Structure 1
């Protein structure tokens, strides 16, 4: 169990007070003036405890015990007082900036030396006290410096780790962008050219069977180009800080609600580890489905259900009667695009009129479960 540094003066103060009382009654040199010896010692202990929260005020209170002892007739500072004085100067050196702690040290030395000389002690006492107080103060300052240095090293290490992580993320984003550019500029372009050439070849063929074969190849080429462009879009989106994700579904719903579509969200299951590309594609499917509802439903209330399971992610967008199924994709490629995104992950998409006369979109994305 880690003990707070503040417990040091809180423990040392009562110990010094008890030692002062014991010294006053057990040392024969102080027996005649026991009260005059232990009273300043108790004040010293109280000052040390006060320094737990108020270092300067507590140190000055502790230092004041020596002139007080001289006034009430104490013959000497005493061993307990000297121990307490060393402790309070060390605590000031650790707790305060070194310039302020130096003032506490000077006050302690001045009080001890002046008190000893006024009490008739030898000059040696005036030399001895600074000599034993300086090491205590220096140890406190050294401990404070080492603690600040350790904290600074910890902060720098955390900053270096964060910088290293940012550099790694930037490198991954740059590589992903490069791959997306290569797929778009090289592969997609080549397949597009092949598809165009197949179209030209199909128009020159007269055999219906051959025309059908080439037409199927042409359709497959267009589908491949569409899928590659979808992958390129996902790769580029993943380089952005605001990459599409089902975690942002509340933002999406807020946007369509602001446009006039009332939406109720239901989430079932617990979201586990969802692959990033699948997560982005599921978000885009949901976005396209809500866009279709917003475009064609006239603001019909809509329910969005997201289901998480260990082996799949399911989406359902169901709106109340008011949308015509034959308008859901008129003049555009919304459902075709959704179907293509789902098919990339070997999922299923069902879009059509719901039993109550509305329109429903159901999408299932299989999630590969690690062995």
Structure 2
């Protein structure tokens, strides 16, 4: 497992859930506070850990499961109350739901969790102080999750701004090219074509002065014809340049909907590429769509740069939760050890891809294969609100 795989945020509840569950089970067995109910309340610890694991994919449902299990040891098994592991787990799952869900929904889920904890504590014979104490310790967890969510939203807005700036840069580059063609056309017409026309006229005058010298006249006449032909070709070139400028269209925005064009371009460059992608890809958020296109483009460019014209497979997959990209090439000029060294050094291409994926909370896996090939796999989570 590489470091990029460890960046998947769902690993937080997936790892902490079993740990908290094991801690809760251990607490009920080793702490005399639970008395005769200790053996039976291991079910409660298991449910607490399971709820946190479920929260990795369904934060609201996981929070409800984790909170609903709290009264079980008190109401069903007669335990005197809940333990410290439950408090730690509940703070964690409240922070998680505040990070992954909109504030209103996460606040309702956090309130339900606090109410469940308070009910279990009071049913166990503890004081009404729990009405104030438990919400007070859960509130910081909810606030931390909310801050993390807002930080992610700001990062998403920055990613949108970066995409807009990228599109604007491309538009400006196209405009600069158009302006340069206009300038070249003007220079060719006003300066070069004019000078050649004057030279051609002077050659015509020189030819007339050489009357009676047919050999020299033939040479000058040939130069005169060449001059006229050159002027005509220059005028045609000016017409082509101006026609392209007048008929210029804005460059299309990079999108996976144009993945066929990208594959055709790299095939024309000599790369043997196969594409496995749905015939009708779903509509994606603009920032995610642009980022995925750029990552795929960079991955294919890296294959050409480091492996050469080798068979390469591109696989694009879609689910309701995420978009996945895979670019895998067979062994080429780059040997297995060189590929591993490139990964460890972190070339500019991989760094750029990781930076783009970070902006959309995605993950990147890039590693040399045992057979000497190389694989790049990227995952782009699709926002649930899209």
Same-fold call, TM cutoff 0.5: yes
**Counterpart of 2:89?**
84
For 2:15 and 2:166, locate their aligned partners in 1 and report how far apart those are by CA, in whole Å.
39
Unaligned runs of 5+ in 2: 250-267, 271-386
| One of 12, 15, 22 as aligned partner of 1:18 | 22
**Counterpart of 2:238?**
232
| One of 212, 218, 228 as aligned partner of 2:224 | 218
| One of 47, 53, 57 as aligned partner of 1:49 | 53
Task: Output the TM-score relative to the length of structure 1.
Answer: 0.59
**Counterpart of 2:68?**
64
| One of 174, 187, 192 as aligned partner of 2:192 | 187
Q: Check whether the contact 1:76–1:119 (CA below 8 A) recurs between aligned residues.
A: yes
**Counterpart of 2:32?**
28
Task: Output the TM-score relative to the length of structure 2.
Answer: 0.57
Q: Check whether the contact 2:35–2:79 (CA below 8 A) recurs between aligned residues.
A: no
1:191 deviates by 2.7
**Counterpart of 1:113?**
118
For 1:194 and 1:42, locate their aligned partners in 2 and report how far apart those are by CA, in whole Å.
95
The residue correspondences of 1:252-291 to structure 2 (distance < 5 A) are: none
For 1:177 and 1:18, locate their aligned partners in 2 and report how far apart those are by CA, in whole Å.
73
| One of 104, 123, 130 as aligned partner of 1:125 | 130
Unaligned runs of 5+ in 1: 243-269, 273-371
Secondary structure at the counterpart of residue 80 of structure 2: coil
Paired residues, what number?
246
| One of 84, 96, 99 as aligned partner of 1:94 | 99
**Counterpart of 2:381?**
none
Higher relative contact order (CA 8 A, sep 6+): 2
Q: Check whether the contact 1:36–1:74 (CA below 8 A) recurs between aligned residues.
A: no
Secondary structure at the counterpart of residue 66 of structure 1: coil
> Which has the larger Rg?
1
CA change 1:93–1:232 in 2 (3 A) is same
For 2:222 and 2:58, locate their aligned partners in 1 and report how far apart those are by CA, in whole Å.
86
| One of 140, 146, 155 as aligned partner of 1:141 | 146
For 2:84 and 2:133, locate their aligned partners in 1 and report how far apart those are by CA, in whole Å.
13
1:178 deviates by 1.6
**Cα RMSD between the aligned structures?**
2.8
Q: Check whether the contact 2:37–2:73 (CA below 8 A) recurs between aligned residues.
A: no
Q: 1:222-280 CA deviation, whole Å, 9 max, x = no partner?
A: 233144335435645775769xxxxxxxxxxxxxxxxxxxxxxxxxxx959xxxxxxxx
1:185 deviates by 3.5
1:94 deviates by 1.1
Q: Check whether the contact 1:20–1:37 (CA below 8 A) recurs between aligned residues.
A: no
Q: Check whether the contact 1:86–1:136 (CA below 8 A) recurs between aligned residues.
A: yes
Q: Check whether the contact 1:177–1:235 (CA below 8 A) recurs between aligned residues.
A: yes
Q: 1:174-198 CA deviation, whole Å, 9 max, x = no partner?
A: 0221221231244314433543464
**Counterpart of 1:156?**
161
For 2:230 and 2:48, locate their aligned partners in 1 and report how far apart those are by CA, in whole Å.
86
For 2:95 and 2:269, locate their aligned partners in 1 and report how far apart those are by CA, in whole Å.
55
Secondary structure at the counterpart of residue 35 of structure 1: coil
Q: 1:195-239 CA deviation, whole Å, 9 max, x = no partner?
A: 346446646763233532431331231233144335435645775
Q: Check whether the contact 1:180–1:232 (CA below 8 A) recurs between aligned residues.
A: yes
1:134 deviates by 0.8
For 1:48 and 1:214, locate their aligned partners in 2 and report how far apart those are by CA, in whole Å.
93
**Counterpart of 2:179?**
174
